[in-house]
Amino acid sequence: MASAVLPLGIAYVGKRIVDAVVARDSGGAWRWVAAELLLVAALTGATQALSLVRRIVGARLGLDINVAILEKATALELRYFEDSEFYDRLNKARREASSRPLSVIARSFQILQSIVSLLGYAALLLRFSGWAVAALLLAAIPATVAEMRFSSQAFRLRNWRSPESRKLLYLEHVLSNDEHAKEVKLFGLGEHLLARYRDIGELFYREDSALAVRAAKWAYALSLLATLTFYGCYATMALSAARGALSLGDLTLGMVAFRQGQQAFQSLLGAFGGMVEDNLYMSNLFGYLAVTPPSAQARAAEPALADAPAPAALANAANAALAPALKSPPGIRFEDVGFRYPGRDEWALRHIDVFIPQGESLAIVGQNGAGKTTFIKLLTRLYEPTEGRIWLDGRDLRDWDEALLRRRIGVVFQDFAQYQFTARENVGLGSVDDLGDTAQIGRAISKGGAEEVVSALKEGLETPLGRWFRDGVELSGGQWQKIALSRAFMREGADILVLDEPTAALDAVAEHAVFERFRELTRDKTSILISHRFPTVRMADRILVIEHGRVVEQGTHASLVEQNGRYAHLFALQAQGYL
């Protein structure tokens, strides 16, 4: 408020200085100059304070909004992350997260300030002539309309090319990141990818510059209009001053008031235009934050079934007590399950009818793309079946409390994560609550076969892994895999363990050791193993052969070999390779 009112005072004091000088009143001139000095000092203080408030509020807001965006991301299901449209939304929201909300606040301040100044200047000007005020207001309108139009065009342009921007970002990532550096160099991809990057970048550049040129032409033409009005007024006032109808001080005041009033009005309309633009961008953010997983909606509408968050070890007992009507023996049942990935027409899995009794060790084999990983994604409820149902211990998987379900299942995927954190965290994150329990982490490490990996690290468990941060130690593919296996073993309460080809990077000796141990550790647990290596697969109690999304054979190794079908064929092929 002060920074809006003070310039008015300064303009008025300016007039008094000129009047005093004209009247040859040196005492008065002194006093008014001193007064102006004070006012200017106060104005500087007010401006600084305002910018401080903006900065602090901006930092707070940026943080809060980023947290809200990431919170939303953690609450959403896997399928959102595998959907490119959603990714676009997430990116758009993140890109604008820290700047736009702050800008809305800054502009609100600006609008308030401009309105107050404008009213003040208009009041000062009204003393001279009403039409000067009207000219002041009217001349700024076309410029603002143009500005609003161009900012919404820029918004549409950016939104429309969002998928292309993502390609641009991706190319940037591939060209500048250590994961891809080996291949980029060996395949000589640098130039080719850079050319693609340049193509998209140049297209954006042409669009942006065309828009900027159009906007600049308009801005120039319209600012000429404002300048013309100013000089029109100036001439009129100068003439009346020459006729003696206006004092020199009044002329100065009138001109300052007109010029600054014009600026205040333009900045007011500019702020409105900016607000419109900010709101367009904010709608991206709100659009993203409003994404609600449909299953969450559905679950919220259902009566609360998940009211028994028993610890994992008690899970079975709790379920037995909960559901006396359950006839089914404990285990996992797929009942005519079919699944299509969102947006895909083909079935990734269809008509799956399988029962895995508690304690069984099951192996799944099949060619690439057969649907093995999809089976695991359904079992772990990362996705829900498109048709059919999955039961765990006689209870629909969807009715299980999510946290409880997660605690019962330990999984290692083929594309497991390599966290750029310490070794302790890389293992301990398998059970976040036990990150500080060194003994438990030690047990998990020995079950995962990672003792040698960790003991070779200079700072042991506290050594950062990966190359992203200082002093990080990069591991080999097989070593990372052992760490990931250990992470799964952190879930000591888990009674279902799933290994989805996590040993592909291990050497034969290490793999054999892992499976021997795995067999032993999972003797009384359900274990599901996906592997392309038959020596490993044949250890399982039962083997499922999946082809094109269907179970085509199942049985023990011996019975499948005897059947002389698909499994026997694949086994023979691999055996020949081994001989």
Rounded to whole angstroms, the Cα distance separating 342 from 77 reads 12
d(CA 68, CA 565): 54
DSSP letter at 464? B
385 forms part of the interface with ligand ATP (CB under 6 A)? no
Q: Rounded to the nearest whole angstrom, what is the least distance from the CB of residue 69 to ligand ATP in the complex? A: 23
Contacts for 519 with CB less than 8 Å, ≥ 6 apart: 361, 539
Q: Is 348 in the site for ligand ATP (CB under 6 A)?
A: yes
Q: Which is nearer to ligand ATP, 44 or 84 (CB)?
A: 84
Does 570 engage in binding with ligand ATP (CB under 6 A)?
no
**Please, what is the minimum distance in Å from the beta carbon of residue 415 to ligand ATP?**
9
* Window of 29-37, 288-296, 370-378, 489-497 that interacts with ligand ATP by CB under 6 A: 370-378
373: contact with ligand ATP by CB under 6 A: yes
Which positions ≥6 away from 170 have C-beta within 8 Å? none
Binding test (CB under 6 A) with ligand ATP, winner from 25, 82, 399, 401: 82
Specify the residue, 79 or 525, whose C-beta has the smaller distance to ligand ATP.
Answer: 79
H or E stretch covering 325: none
Pick the binder of ligand ATP from 182, 243, 344, 470 (CB under 6 A): 344
Q: Cα–Cα distances in Å, from 548 out to 371, 384, 555?
A: 7, 19, 19
Evaluated on CA atoms 453, 456, 457, 461, the torsion sign reads positive
Shortest Cβ distance from residue 335 to ligand ATP (Å)?
19
Question: Judged by CB under 6 A, which stretch of 28-36, 260-268, 340-348, 424-432 contacts ligand ATP?
Answer: 340-348
Q: Which is nearer to ligand ATP, 370 or 405 (CB)?
A: 370
449 touching ligand ATP, by CB under 6 A = no
Q: Which of 249, 270, 273, 371 binds ligand ATP (CB under 6 A)?
A: 371
Query: Does residue number 415 form part of the binding site for ligand ATP (CB under 6 A)?
Result: no
512 touches 506 (CB < 8 A): no
Q: Which of 106, 133, 365, 370 binds ligand ATP (CB under 6 A)?
A: 370
Q: Is 380 in the site for ligand ATP (CB under 6 A)?
A: no
> Is 281 in contact with 96 (CB distance < 8 Å)?
yes
Partners of 422 in beta bridges: 464
Q: Which is nearer to ligand ATP, 295 or 463 (CB)?
A: 295
- 257-286: b (≥16 Cβ within 10 Å) or e: bbbbbbbbbbbbbbbbbbbebbebbbebbe
Which residue, 272 or 341, has its beta carbon nearer to ligand ATP? 341
Does position 368 interact with ligand ATP (CB under 6 A)? The reply is: yes
483 phi-psi bin (left φ>0, alpha ψ -120 to 50, beta other): alpha
- Beta bridge partners of residue 465, listed in sequence order: 473
Please identify, using beta-carbon distances, which residue of 373 and 522 lies nearer to ligand ATP: 373
Stretch that binds ligand ATP, among 135-143, 211-219, 341-349, 390-398 (CB under 6 A): 341-349
Which among 107-115, 250-258, 372-380, 474-482 is the span making contact with ligand ATP, rule CB under 6 A? 372-380
Rounded to an integer, what distance in angstroms lies between the CA atom of residue 204 and that of residue 164?
Answer: 9
Q: Which stretch binds ligand ATP (CB under 6 A): 7-15, 193-201, 365-373, 423-431?
A: 365-373
**CA trace torsion 137, 138, 142, 148 (10° rounding):** 40
Half-sphere exposure of 579 (CA within 13 A, CB side): 6
Among residues 266 and 373, whose Cβ is nearest to ligand ATP? 373
Closest CA to 8 of 151, 84, 115, 102: 115
Quick check: 345 binds ligand ATP (CB under 6 A)?
no
Number of Cα atoms under 13 Å in the Cβ half of residue 78: 9
User: Total number of residues binding ligand ATP (CB under 6 A)?
Assistant: 12
Q: What is the sign of the dihedral through the CA atoms of 562, 563, 564 and 568?
A: negative
Site string for ligand ATP, 28-67 (x = CB under 6 A): ----------------------------------------
With contacts defined by CB under 6 A, name the span among 28-36, 108-116, 366-374, 470-478 that binds ligand ATP. 366-374
For the chain, first and last CA: distance in Å?
Answer: 87
Contact 248, 19 (CB under 8 A): yes
Q: Out of 45, 311, 329, 369, name the contact with ligand ATP by CB under 6 A.
A: 369
* Residue 502 within binding range of ligand ATP, rule CB under 6 A: no
In this structure, are residues 222 and 142 in contact, taking their beta carbons and an 8 Å threshold?
A: yes
Nearer Cβ to ligand ATP (36/501):
501
Give the residue, chosen from 249, 254, 274, 366, that forms a contact with ligand ATP under the rule CB under 6 A: 366
When asked if residue 86 is in the footprint of ligand ATP (CB under 6 A), the reply is no
Residues near ligand ATP (CB under 6 A) are 82, 341, 344, 348, 366, 368-374
